[in-house]
Amino acid sequence: MYVIATAGHVDHGKSTLVRALTGIEPDRWAEERRRGMTIDLGFAWTTLPSGRRLAFVDVPGHERFVTNMLAGLGPVPAVMFVLAADQGWQAQSQEHWEAIEALGVDRGLLVVTRCDLMDPAPALEQARARISWPALTVSGGTGAGLDELRRGLDLLVSSLPAPDAGAPVRLWIDRAFTIKGAGTVVTGTLAAGTIRTGDLLVLDDERVRVKGLQVTGEPVDEVTATARVAVNLRGVERERAARGKALLAPDAWLTTGVVDARTDARAGASGAPRQAGAHVDARMDARVDGRGEVRVAPWRVDGGPVPREAVLHIGSASVPVRLRPLGPGPPDHGAASPGHEAPDSGLAGRALPGPGSGLSLIHISEPTRP
Ligand SMILES: Nc1nc2c(ncn2[C@@H]2O[C@H](COP(=O)(O)OP(=O)(O)O)[C@@H](O)[C@H]2O)c(=O)[nH]1
Ligand SMILES: [Mg+2]
């Protein structure tokens, strides 16, 4: 199975497209349906013309819910970026695109929809100036172009690198709930590795047993990445499982509360270079098994000096952190450069599961943002 996320400004037609492609309602909450707006992550799946299974993580486009959006985008390998023909490039088109770039998600489709309302050419031109992905014009309303979109999605997922089925599991939890008679169930996007029923995994430093597994609603004994997966945990109270925590393979991961980061200054939306550390790249060498390079990248600062407080987004987690600049120049990874403070004074926050070989985002936003 393959998993991709939607992205794009609110009301541009993301959920309509997911609904049209899958026949599944991604807006799960009554409040979402009443307001006609995605608030939290939605999940839907379909079979593509090739027979490949594809699941969507449908994200909210409204700026108030960017944290939810990042929790959905964090673990996926590719994106369907949606732009409304009659609206053009807007604030969260830009913000979502920056998040996609910052996360290092470099595969996707650009879909200009609502083409029944307006000639898509101007919106397409705006988006093409920023996004070099294959582009399609459709209407989620009339269904025009959806067959081409299905074929485009097939091409997209067939080009994705196969995930490592033997990699240590790190399942970022995006939902947790109780099923009567079964107990606590958590869901997430499995980006790498394999989970089997009976496996021992680690939640909050405690070992928990996988009692049951489901993939898109079907019970299975084993699931290999990439997949949307629901894990029934034995003897875990619902309160212990929540979005932002991760189910980890035992003895494969270290937990850290401190990371060093370095800026990757690049031009902001206006084209002008941001003053101080527009983007920040951080690395940690914390994989116990020593396989592969660890990269946690990058964070975004909207100009001005590095703020003292920020929100770090990694996987499905968003964690308030304190920042301490190391100095005017970027420190070498793993070593303090002359004139810089010790590397472990870089950034401190609550302990996080991870880091790992997955790409993650450190995004500067208002610490109080929901
Ligand atoms: N005419 C027309 N309306 C659309 C189309 N796609 C979405 N809409 C409408 O646009 C509004 C926002 O769509 P929605 O899918 O909720 O946008 P989202 O916020 O990006 O998920 C809804 O009222 C949809 O019915 C389309 O292709 N054509
Ligand atoms: Mg929506």
Q: How much is the pLDDT for 316?
A: 84
pLDDT band at residue 67 using 50, 70 and 90 as cut-offs: confident
Residues near ion ligand 2 (Cβ under 5 Å): 14-15, 38
* Residue 275 predicted with pLDDT over 60: no
Instruction: Using the 3D structure, point to which of 196, 223, 248 is the last residue of a domain.
Output: 248
How much distance in Å is there from the Cα of 10 to the middle of ligand 2?
A: 7
Would the CB of 74 count as within 6 Å of ligand 1? no
How much distance in Å is there from the Cα of 7 to the middle of ligand 1?
A: 14
Residue at 164 is within a domain: no
Nearest CA to ligand 1 atom 3: 141
pLDDT band at residue 309 using 50, 70 and 90 as cut-offs: low
Q: How much is the pLDDT for 364?
A: 42
Residues 191 and 325 in one domain: no
**What mean pLDDT comes out for the span 40-69?**
93
Residues 184 and 153 in one domain: no
Instruction: Using the 3D structure, point to which of 248, 265, 297 is the last residue of a domain.
Output: 248
Q: How much is the pLDDT for 279?
A: 31
Residue at 50 is within a domain: yes
Residue at 359 is within a domain: yes
Between residues 279 and 179, which one has the greater pLDDT?
A: 179
Block residue for tokens 């307006």: 118
Residue at 165 is within a domain: no
Burial letters for 285-301: b for 16+ Cβ neighbours within 10 Å, e otherwise?
A: eebeeeeeebbbbbbbb
**What mean pLDDT comes out for the span 233-241?**
92
CATH of the domain at 85: 3.40.50.300
Q: How much is the pLDDT for 283?
A: 33
Q: How much is the pLDDT for 345?
A: 31
Given ligand 1 and candidates 6, 11, 19, 115, which is best to mutate, with the most ligand atoms within 8 Å of its CB?
11
Residues 137 and 122 in one domain: yes
94-103, 127-136, 138-147: segment of lowest average pLDDT: 94-103
Residues 216 and 90 in one domain: no
171-180, 194-203, 308-317: segment of lowest average pLDDT: 308-317
Reading phi first (left if > 0) and then psi (alpha if -120 to 50, else beta), residue 34 is in: alpha
Residues 30 and 84 in one domain: yes
Number of domains composing the chain: 3
How far does Cα 92 stand from its chain's mean position? 15
Residues 147 and 185 in one domain: no
The span from the CA of 176 to the CA of 194, in Å, is: 20
Residue at 163 is within a domain: no
4-13, 51-60, 316-325: segment of lowest average pLDDT: 316-325
Q: How much is the pLDDT for 46?
A: 97
* Residue 95 predicted with pLDDT over 80: yes
Q: Which residues does 252 contact at the CB level (< 8 Å), separation at least 6?
A: 168, 169, 287, 288, 289
> Taking the model in full, what pTM does it have?
0.82
Q: How much is the pLDDT for 306?
A: 57
Residues 244 and 188 in one domain: yes
The span from the CA of 153 to the CA of 139, in Å, is: 16
Q: How much is the pLDDT for 98?
A: 81
Nearest 10 degrees: CA dihedral of 290, 70, 130, 155?
A: 70
Q: How much is the pLDDT for 226?
A: 96
How much distance in Å is there from the Cα of 140 to the middle of ligand 1?
A: 7
Residues 47 and 144 in one domain: yes
Range of the domain at 22: 2-158
**What mean pLDDT comes out for the span 297-310?**
49
pLDDT band at residue 39 using 50, 70 and 90 as cut-offs: very high
Instruction: Summarize pLDDT for 251-270 with one digit per residue, the tens.
Output: 887 666 666 554 444 434 44
When the pLDDT of each residue in the chain is averaged and rounded to a whole number, the result is: 78
* Residue 184 predicted with pLDDT over 60: yes
The span from the CA of 98 to the CA of 169, in Å, is: 27
CATH of the domain at 228: 2.40.30.10
**What mean pLDDT comes out for the span 193-213?**
95
